[in-house]
Homo-oligomer: A and B are copies of this chain.
Amino acid sequence: MREQPTYLRVADELRRRIADHVWAEGAQLPSRAQLAKDFGVSDAIVRRAQELLISDGVLEGRAGSGTYVAERRTRARMVRAHVRTGLDEAAGGPDLGALTGPETWEGRSDVMVPAPAHIAARLGIAEGDYCVRTAYEHLLDSKPVYLSTSWEPYEITSGTLVVLPDGGPLAGAGVVRRMAEVGITVTHAVERMEPGQTDAEEAHLLGVQRGVLCTRIERTFYSDDGRAVETADIVVPAALCEIVVETPVSRRR
């Protein structure tokens, strides 16, 4: 077995000290120069080790100030439950498992947005076909916990009162109810989940640092005739929100 490079050893040591509460939550670490002297390594190595922990959400670097042990905010739980809880729809909230706790959100819609290629493919429409695009910021305790951008074919709801997800009588009621209003029955959702890192814009909206680990979810709702009626890109930073999937085990017969 090959030995680990220095910057990983330093990263592990920093992790250990934080786990052992050598530095408390929210506390400021010694400066890079000081740590480099302590560890007997160069400035750049400490920097690199800290970058790893920053993207893991363990540390937080503040320019001009210092590097701090990240405050562990009580994380929201985004539950994908396959068992009926009765909660999701009753709350008038999102159609798939709500966050635990009182959730609010802010949305901004644009109508007549031409579908880019990847969205068109997911919705089964032609590139350039018009869509209603809505960007959401989901808040818990009035702090952002995740972002989503949803796309609906304009053709489905054009001319109806529910054309705008965040307007009309069913504002914020979720895709399932709004689609029901125009005679479409939504039967299931498919979500692709993959790990990623936040870019500058996402980080700014979420109040975290650029490059922190997140889960990117591509969610698509389908109606009973197999047509995609909505698709969304969801960005869930690990530090703010945990994703839980509950699956029933089907009985053997």
Q: Report A's interface with B, CB cutoff 8 A.
A: 2, 4, 8, 52, 55-56, 80, 82-84, 88-89, 95-96, 176-177, 180, 185-197, 200, 213-215, 221, 238, 242-252
Is the pair B248, A188 in contact by a Cβ cutoff of 8 Å? yes
Q: How far is the CA of A245 from the CA of B190 in the complex (A)?
A: 6
Is the pair B242, A192 in contact by a Cβ cutoff of 8 Å? yes
Query: Which listed residue (B188, B197, B214) contacts A83, Cβ 8 A?
Result: B188
Q: How far is the CA of A82 from the CA of B200 in the complex (A)?
A: 35
Q: How far is the CA of A249 from the CA of B89 in the complex (A)?
A: 10
A2, A187, A193 — most chain B CB neighbours (10 Å): A193
Looking at the assembled complex, report how far the CB atom of A52 sits from the nearest CB atom of chain B, in whole angstroms: 8
Is the pair A213, B195 in contact by a Cβ cutoff of 8 Å? yes
Copies of this chain, how many?
2
Chain B residues lying within 8 Å of A248, measured Cβ to Cβ, are 82, 187-188
Is the pair B195, A250 in contact by a Cβ cutoff of 8 Å? no
Known A-B contacts A4-B200, A188-B83; the reply to A193 vs B245 at CB < 8 A is yes
Q: How far is the CA of A177 from the CA of B215 in the complex (A)?
A: 32
Looking at the assembled complex, report how far the CB atom of A100 sits from the nearest CB atom of chain B, in whole angstroms: 13
- Report the nearest B residue to A214, measured CB to CB: B195
6 smallest CB-CB distances across A and B, nearest first, come from A195-B195, A82-B82, A195-B213, A191-B245, A193-B243, A188-B248
Q: How far is the CA of A83 from the CA of B188 in the complex (A)?
A: 9
Is the pair A243, B194 in contact by a Cβ cutoff of 8 Å? yes
Query: Which listed residue (B52, B191, B244) contacts A247, Cβ 8 A?
Result: B191
Known A-B contacts A213-B196, A221-B249, A250-B89; the reply to A191 vs B82 at CB < 8 A is no
Q: How far is the CA of A147 from the CA of B96 in the complex (A)?
A: 28
